[in-house]
A and B are shown apart, each in its own frame.
Chain A
Amino acid sequence: MKTALLSIGALLAAAAPAVAQGPTDPQIAAIVVAANQVDIDAGRMAVARTKDAGVKAFAQQMITDHSAVNAAATKLVTKLHVTPEPNATSKQLTDGGVANRKNLEPLRGAAFDKAYIDNEVAYHQAVLDAIDKTLIPNAKNAELKALLEQTRPAIAAHLEHAKQLQASHK
């Protein structure tokens, strides 16, 4: 499980080097969509699997919020006539999400809840770092930058919420 945690965190922390010279706007768009989809998929798995009301509510909120961010991102890139450009980072994110769900698959009960929440903490911390250090600094279009800035508080709130759950699921 630790491998999964490290892999997700490492992926996002390495977002800049993965896209040489910093990502372009179309690449950032693809990274945003991939990052949100990874957490939507993990959330769906948790909603179906967990018996813990707090974990289920959190997971459902991740689905709702990350879907909303992706909808806003899709609306924006459509308006801007920007086609998201898959890149090494977006692919690594997607692959990391698959690996994470594979690691969660055999777990049940409290072990699943703990692993899911631990990963959510690591994931949101890594996304926050990537937004601050890579995505916002490299975004060229003002509206794309604004979308990233508007997304940041959501990620920060998710991180704090996940930490609260983590503290109660040790």
Chain B
Amino acid sequence: MLAVVAPLAVAAGPVQGPAPTRIAIRNFVFVPSPDTVRSGQVVTFRNHDLVPHTVTADSSTLDSGTIEAGKEWRLTAKRKGVVHYHCRLHPTMHGTLVIR
């Protein structure tokens, strides 16, 4: 089941609550995965590959849009649960985010 997550367009100053966590997209793998975060935690996905990727919930209720090479995308994990996601451009790439 998809937890509600809200993308952040920009960093909004000092982060309140849990410290942010980073997930790397490198060599066509989401690292770490699965990753466990706390509700309210900011999660940053950074694309280290040469090509664009997306972070898209398997349920299709979340989509980062294209994350270009060298760019990143942030979201705030809201609702507790397990988010299974993949790259919409490269369907062999999968990841899991556990929100507690």
Can you report 7 A-B residue pairs in the complex whose CB atoms are below 8 A from each other?
A64-B51, A64-B52, A68-B52, A151-B50, A153-B28, A154-B28, A161-B91
The docked-state distance in angstroms from the alpha carbon of A64 to that of B69 is: 12
Selected from A61, A154, A161, A164, the residue in CB contact (under 8 A) with B50 is: A154
Q: Measured between alpha carbons, how far is A157 from B91 in the docked complex, in Å?
A: 9
- The one of A153, A160, A161 in contact with B49, judged by C-beta atoms closer than 8 angstroms, is A153
Q: Residues of A at under 8 Å CB distance from B?
A: 61, 64-65, 68-69, 72, 150-154, 156-157, 160-161, 164
In contact, A65 and B51 (Cβ under 8 angstroms) = yes
Main secondary structure on B side of the interface with A: loop
Chain B hits for A72, CB < 8 A: 50, 69
Q: How far is the CA of A69 from the CA of B69 in the complex (A)?
A: 11
In residues 37-55 of chain B, which contact A (Cβ within 8 Å)?
Answer: 49-52
Inter-chain contact A164/B28, CB cutoff 8 Å: no
- B interface, CB within 8 angstroms of A: 27-29, 49-52, 69, 89-93
Taking the closest CB of chain A, its distance from the CB of B64, in whole angstroms, is 16
Which residue in chain B gives the minimum CB-CB distance to A165? B91
A155 to chain B, nearest CB (A): 10
Nearest 8 pairs of A and B residues by beta carbon: A153-B27, A153-B28, A65-B51, A160-B92, A157-B28, A68-B51, A72-B50, A157-B90
Chain B residues within an 8 Å CB radius of A64: 51-52, 89
Knowing A68-B69, A150-B27 are in contact, say whether A157-B92 is a contact too (CB < 8 A): yes
A156-B28 CB under 8 A given contacts A161-B90, A161-B91, A161-B92: yes
Please name all residues of chain A whose beta carbon is closer than 8 Å to the beta carbon of B29 when the two chains form the complex.
153
